[in-house]
């Protein structure tokens, strides 16, 4: 896959000095373009997902300029970063209007839950991301469960508990397998505890009730997880190839839960038979429900799945955004112009867009700061990133920037828990694994850690141990 934006080649792009590009903070794709239709896109967010979205949008012949708010050191190479005084919906809308934005693509869930898509609709701005009432599918686990029950979608049995509940009796009801306790709020990845330790489950139930007034206790689903990203609007839905994340911090799925330490796509666990069940039992009923709402769902629905030993799929969770790092490995497999897909979905015209995929595999491995996820140490220099600058664009392998900033001395420093991800794209998962890890081996971050076994369920010999 050769990156070419408005006639400018990958090589020329890579030749620019990173610090020069970053300091300028802006590369106006519009000025290079003679073949584009000049659309202006504003991407909201600052993580690896947003860098991946911007990268995929640079492949579009329809996109003239890319803006990102707040963005990161990677998105600064692809467009203009905008640091706003605050992230209030009204501030973002003002920026979008000032830029004459043709499409707003919302990366994280929080702005959607706060009503960014609603405000866009009021202002006549096209927004890829659902309105707040539907973003609630991620914002409230209870709402997601009730929606699934109403739509007949398979998911784990659950109870809600509050101050008046008999917690011991509820724990007894789900004894014999790990307890799954979920807060009913957006908790930045810290809202779920899965534990075989009864007192830990009880403590989390009590502290959640004290904080939120209620909590969910859910039956444990055994099996293997997979993620399905489904683009949808009122007219249609399109599922992207299934991927698999690695949520635990350490090799062999050990250690604490994280935002995700690596992913690969496609995930072989989702065979065509499993995929057919997912469509029939989950995606079609969810789309029927979401398309019939007063404002249809316009965006991506992230379906977190558990596939059991009988190859039956159950929904573990819904998110109303692209997964991170699933996004990094899924977008490169889309052959169709991403702008056409996202713009189509934002305008209820998805059914008119024919979405094709590359027959390829992608794998990404996340480099995290020391102490991640509990208390990441920030501010350390990343060695090798300057030399790897050309690798922040599509090629056979590249770097997706997440928590990276520029120091006053013009060096790249880690400014987040998940720092970056190295992504490989190849004809086989094994090769994608090899080239992704090859990039990682050229980078150094004191105390930085990464999993050595990304893809171990799908690639023999990738167990890293
Ligand atoms: P959630 O935020 O709901 O996706 O939960 C975070 C993680 O907890 C999931 O990715 C699963 O690994 C695990 N998990 C959540 N619910 C269940 C369940 N009912 N059974 C087994 N594992 C679960
Ligand atoms: N990687 C899981 C998520 O984005 O929620």
83, 178: one domain: no
- The pLDDT assigned to 34 comes to 37
Of 52, 54, 29, 47, the residue nearest 39 (C-alpha): 29
Structure-block tokens of residue 401: 């920037």
Separation CA 327–CA 285 (nearest Å): 24
Domain final position from 218, 244, 263: 218
- The pLDDT assigned to 394 comes to 85
- The pLDDT assigned to 464 comes to 61
- The pLDDT assigned to 87 comes to 84
60, 123: one domain: yes
133, 162: one domain: no
- The pLDDT assigned to 389 comes to 73
Q: Do you know the residue count of the chain?
A: 465
> Could you tell me if residue 352 is inside a domain?
no
> Could you tell me if residue 369 is inside a domain?
no
73, 116: one domain: yes
> Could you tell me if residue 151 is inside a domain?
no
133, 23: one domain: yes
Q: What pTM value is reported for the model?
A: 0.91
128, 214: one domain: no
Q: Is residue 185 within 6 Å of ligand 1 at its C-beta?
A: no
CB 384 within 8 A of CB 443: yes
Structure-block tokens of residue 339: 């702008």
- Ligand 2 centroid–CA 352 distance in Å is 29
Atom of ligand 1 nearest to the CA of 189: 2
131, 161: one domain: no
CB 440 within 8 A of CB 422: yes
Q: Which of 49, 319, 366, 451 to mutate to test the pocket of ligand 2 (most atoms within 8 A of CB)?
A: 319
Q: Is 327 left (phi over 0), alpha (psi -120 to 50) or beta?
A: alpha
81, 180: one domain: no
- Ligand 2 centroid–CA 353 distance in Å is 26
pLDDT in tens, the chain (465 residues): 333 333 233 323 333 333 333 333 333 333 333 334 799 999 999 999 999 999 999 999 999 999 999 999 999 999 999 999 898 999 999 999 999 999 999 999 999 999 999 999 999 999 999 999 999 999 999 999 999 999 999 999 999 999 999 999 999 999 999 999 999 998 877 899 999 999 999 999 999 999 999 999 999 999 999 999 999 999 999 999 999 999 999 999 999 889 999 999 999 999 999 999 999 999 999 999 999 999 999 999 999 999 999 999 999 999 999 999 999 999 999 999 999 999 999 999 999 999 999 999 999 999 999 999 999 999 999 999 987 777 888 889 999 999 999 888 888 999 999 999 999 999 999 999 999 999 999 999 999 999 999 999 999 767 664
Separation CA 416–CA 60 (nearest Å): 29
CB 403 within 8 A of CB 378: yes
> Could you tell me if residue 276 is inside a domain?
no
Domain final position from 218, 238, 270: 218
**CATH number of the domain encompassing residue 210:** 3.30.1490.20
CB 364 within 8 A of CB 86: no
Of 156, 127, 286, the residue nearest 225 (C-alpha): 156
> Could you tell me if residue 273 is inside a domain?
no
CB 329 within 8 A of CB 263: yes
41, 84: one domain: yes
Q: Is residue 316 within 6 Å of ligand 1 at its C-beta?
A: yes
CA triple 51-57-58, angle to 5 deg: 90
- Ligand 1 centroid–CA 47 distance in Å is 22
Q: Which residues does a 6 A CB cutoff place in the pocket of ligand 2?
A: 245, 259-260, 319, 323-324, 326
> Could you tell me if residue 81 is inside a domain?
yes
As for how many domains the chain has, the answer is 2
> Residue 168 belongs to what domain range?
157-218
Domain final position from 105, 137, 169: 137
Of 341, 402, 405, the residue nearest 59 (C-alpha): 341
> Could you tell me if residue 241 is inside a domain?
no
- Ligand 1 centroid–CA 259 distance in Å is 12
**CATH number of the domain encompassing residue 132:** 3.40.50.20
- Ligand 1 centroid–CA 336 distance in Å is 32
100, 29: one domain: yes
Using the CB atoms, write b or e for 223-243: b if 16+ within 10 Å.
Answer: bebbbbbbbbbbbbbbbbbbb
188, 114: one domain: no
Structure-block tokens of residue 71: 């963005």
Residues sharing a CB contact under 8 Å with residue 61, sequence separation 6 or more, in sequence order: 35, 36, 37, 337
> Could you tell me if residue 246 is inside a domain?
no
Q: Is the dihedral of CA 138, 158, 293, 326 positive or negative?
A: positive
115, 172: one domain: no
Structure-block tokens of residue 125: 């701005």
Separation CA 253–CA 256 (nearest Å): 9
Of 413, 435, 411, 410, the residue nearest 424 (C-alpha): 435
Greatest extent of the chain over all pairs of C-alpha atoms, in Å: 68
Separation CA 289–CA 276 (nearest Å): 19
């Amino acid at each position: 896959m050769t990156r070419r934006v408005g006639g400018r080649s990958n090589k020329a792009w890579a030749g620019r000095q990173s610090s020069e590009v970053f300091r300028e903070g802006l590369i106006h794709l519009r000025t290079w373009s003679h073949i584009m239709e000049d659309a202006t896109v504003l991407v909201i967010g600052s993580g690896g997902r947003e860098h991946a979205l911007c990268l995929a949008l640079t492949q579009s012949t329809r996109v003239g300029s890319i803006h990102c708010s707040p963005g990161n050191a990677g998105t600064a190479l692809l467009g203009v970063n905008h640091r706003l005084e605050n992230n209030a919906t009204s501030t973002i809308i003002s920026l979008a209007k000032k830029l004459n934005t043709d499409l707003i693509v919302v990366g994280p869930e929080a702005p959607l839950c706060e009503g960014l898509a609603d405000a866009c609709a009021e202002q006549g701005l096209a927004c890829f991301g659902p309105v707040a009432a539907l973003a609630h599918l991620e914002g409230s686990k209870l709402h997601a469960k009730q929606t699934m029950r109403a739509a007949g979608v398979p998911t784990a049995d659950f109870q809600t508990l509050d101050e008046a509940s008999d917690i011991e009796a509820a724990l007894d009801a789900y004894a014999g397998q790990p307890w799954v306790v979920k807060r009913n709020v957006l908790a930045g990845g810290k809202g779920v505890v899965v534990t075989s330790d009864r007192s830990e489950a009880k403590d989390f139930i009590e502290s959640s009730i004290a904080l939120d007034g209620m909590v969910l206790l859910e039956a444990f689903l055994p099996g293997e997880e997979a993620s399905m990203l489904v683009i949808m609007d009122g007219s249609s839905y399109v599922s992207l190839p299934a991927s698999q994340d690695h949520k635990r911090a350490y090799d062999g799925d050990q250690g604490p839960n994280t935002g995700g330490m690596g992913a690969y796509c496609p995930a072989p666990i989702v065979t065509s038979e499993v995929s057919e069940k997912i469509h029939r039992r989950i995606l079609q009923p969810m789309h029927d429900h979401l398309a019939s709402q007063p404002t249809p769902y316009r965006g991506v629905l992230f379906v977190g799945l558990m596939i059991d030993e009988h190859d039956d799929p159950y929904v573990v969770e819904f998110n109303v955004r692209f997964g991170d790092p699933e996004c990094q490995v899924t977008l490169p497999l889309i052959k169709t112009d991403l702008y056409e897909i996202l713009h189509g979905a934002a305008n209820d015209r998805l059914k008119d867009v024919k979405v094709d995929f590359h027959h390829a595999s992608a794998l990404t491995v996340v480099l995290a700061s020391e102490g991640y996820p509990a208390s990441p140490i920030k501010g350390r220099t990343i060695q090798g990133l300057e030399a790897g600058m050309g690798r922040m664009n599509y090629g056979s392998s590249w770097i997706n920037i997440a928590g990276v900033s520029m120091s006053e001395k013009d060096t790249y420093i880690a400014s987040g828990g998940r720092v970056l991800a190295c992504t490989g794209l190849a004809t086989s998962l094994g090769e994608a694994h090899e080239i992704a890890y090859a990039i990682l081996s050229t980078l150094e971050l004191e105390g930085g850690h990464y999993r050595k076994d990304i893809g171990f369920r799908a690639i023999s010999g990738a167990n890293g141990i």
